[in-house]
Amino acid sequence: MSSITTKEVFGYAKDGTTVERITLKNASRSAEVEILTFGAIISKIIVPDKNGDMKDIVLGFENVKGYEDQDLYIGGIIGRVANRIANGQFTIDGTTYKLDVNSDPNTLHGGFNCFDKVHWKPSIDGSKVSLTYVSPCGQSGFPGELTITVTYELTDDNCLKVDYMATTTKATPINLTNHAYFNLGGHGIGNLSKHWLIVPANHYLPVDKNCLVTGEIRPVDGTPMDLTKKVLLSEKFKELPDGYDHTYCFGNLEKKLIALVWHEETERSLKVWSTQPGVHAYTGYFLNGPVGKDGAVYKKYSGLCLETQHYPNSVNEPKFPNTVLYPGETFRQTTWFQFGVLNEVQYNSLISQI
């Protein structure tokens, strides 16, 4: 069999725009991914468990209205700048730009025009779909017209590859990510019990009371933030009532293992690789009970986000990796989500090599 890519109408947005659903099925039919043209949202990822049972393992909604009405960024592309910008402003080449302040006193996920709430133009090429959006100069206060293309490709070995590319007409900060919420037990089970997590990073970014990074790059050793050894999330929540909502630092722009997740009951696994210098691990503390697919209620700790990205507020932190894109340059980053099944012996063997 060959891979299959289909496109159909998913629904209609409040502004009357038709929202399409693109379905990617690999040649082995062992995985299926659905992408929406609204928000470039990952609306479904269906993969097998240890018994071959196929289940959807990302949070989402039945219709366009569900995605429009929520403010949890479920499944969508985040930009221009993921995470927070201090005091809603930055300076580039002597010019200060003031942004939407949507998480007082800071800008969160690009302001009121986050890319998870805009319409993207799709282009299908075999087993992959590319979605393009043009962010006009001045949108949410950002300089330059920014053209972004996100490409999703599902491989025969159940890997979802996400390529990000962007160009600009004027110097602008950029930090793109996807905000999918994963639950390897199935999107509707309601919690992250039985989930083991490893993030092999030696440093993380502490935050202040407003969840803004302080500028310090702190070692994880000896702190509850240490994820270099496997942790059972349900146990860590007893120690950290707010869960995880922190950026882990890798620094380099080479492909490397960012995270490993394992669900011991179903034995589903997720390995995340990326060229991005960091990952924001978020365990869904602010999930406030929206009703999602199949009537599922998404409460606190229902999903895990692994948002590969640059460091937050980099445009205001000179010692952080650069996030300013200039005309004539091309922003490129790639993340790979590799789904599989591992029994306990295989899992322990794998983590011993990390």
pLDDT tens digits, one per residue of 315-349 = 999 999 999 999 999 999 999 999 999 999 999 99
Say which residues have a Cβ less than 8 Å from residue 100's Cβ, sequence separation at least 6.
88, 107, 110, 111, 112, 113, 140, 141
Say yes or no to pLDDT of 35 above 70.
yes
pLDDT tens digits for range 208-218:
999 999 999 99
Least Cα distance to 68 among 18, 116, 35 occurs for 116
Length, in residues, of the chain: 354
Task: Provide the β-strand partners of residue 84.
Answer: 108
Least Cα distance to 39 among 179, 183, 188 occurs for 179
Least Cα distance to 64 among 44, 39, 46, 45 occurs for 39
Q: Tell whether the torsion through CA atoms of 161, 112, 67 and 18 is positive or negative.
A: negative
pLDDT, averaged across the chain: 97
pLDDT tens digits for range 96-136:
999 999 999 999 999 999 999 999 999 999 889 999 999 99
Say yes or no to pLDDT of 269 above 70.
yes
User: What pLDDT is attached to residue 339?
Assistant: 98
**Do 42 and 57 touch, CB atoms closer than 8 A?**
no
Q: Comparing 304 with 27, which gets the higher pLDDT?
A: 304
User: What pLDDT is attached to residue 252?
Assistant: 84
CA distances from 310 to 73, 192, 205, 313 (A): 18, 26, 12, 9
Q: How far apart are CA 43 and CA 338, in angstroms?
A: 17
Residue 179 among the catalytic residues: yes
Mean pLDDT throughout 54-77? 98
pLDDT tens digits for range 278-296:
999 999 999 999 999 999 9
Residues marked as binding for beta-D-galactose?
83-84, 179-181, 245
SS3 content of the chain, % helix, strand, coil (to 5): 10, 40, 50
Task: Count the Cβ atoms, other than its own, within 10 Å of residue 157.
Answer: 12
For position 180, which CATH number holds?
2.70.98.10
Percentage of residues in the chain with pLDDT exceeding 70?
100
Say yes or no to pLDDT of 1 above 70.
no
Task: Count the Cβ atoms, other than its own, within 10 Å of residue 179.
Answer: 24
Q: How far apart are CA 207 and CA 268, in angstroms?
A: 32
Residues marked as binding?
83-84, 179-181, 245
Catalytic residue among 179, 246, 263, 310: 179
For the chain, the domain total comes to 1
Q: How far apart are CA 281 and CA 228, in angstroms?
A: 13
Catalytic residue among 20, 34, 153, 307: 307
pLDDT tens digits for range 167-208:
999 999 999 999 999 999 999 999 999 999 999 999 999 999
Residue 344 among the catalytic residues: no
Structural domain including 47 reads 4-352
pLDDT tens digits for range 82-95:
999 999 999 999 99
User: What pLDDT is attached to residue 354?
Assistant: 87
Q: How far apart are CA 173 and CA 168, in angstroms?
A: 10
Q: How far apart are CA 99 and CA 224, in angstroms?
A: 34
The per-residue DSSP string of 210-270 comes to TS-B-S--EE-TTSTT--SS-EEHHHHHHH-TT--EEEEE----S-EEEEEEEETTT-EEE
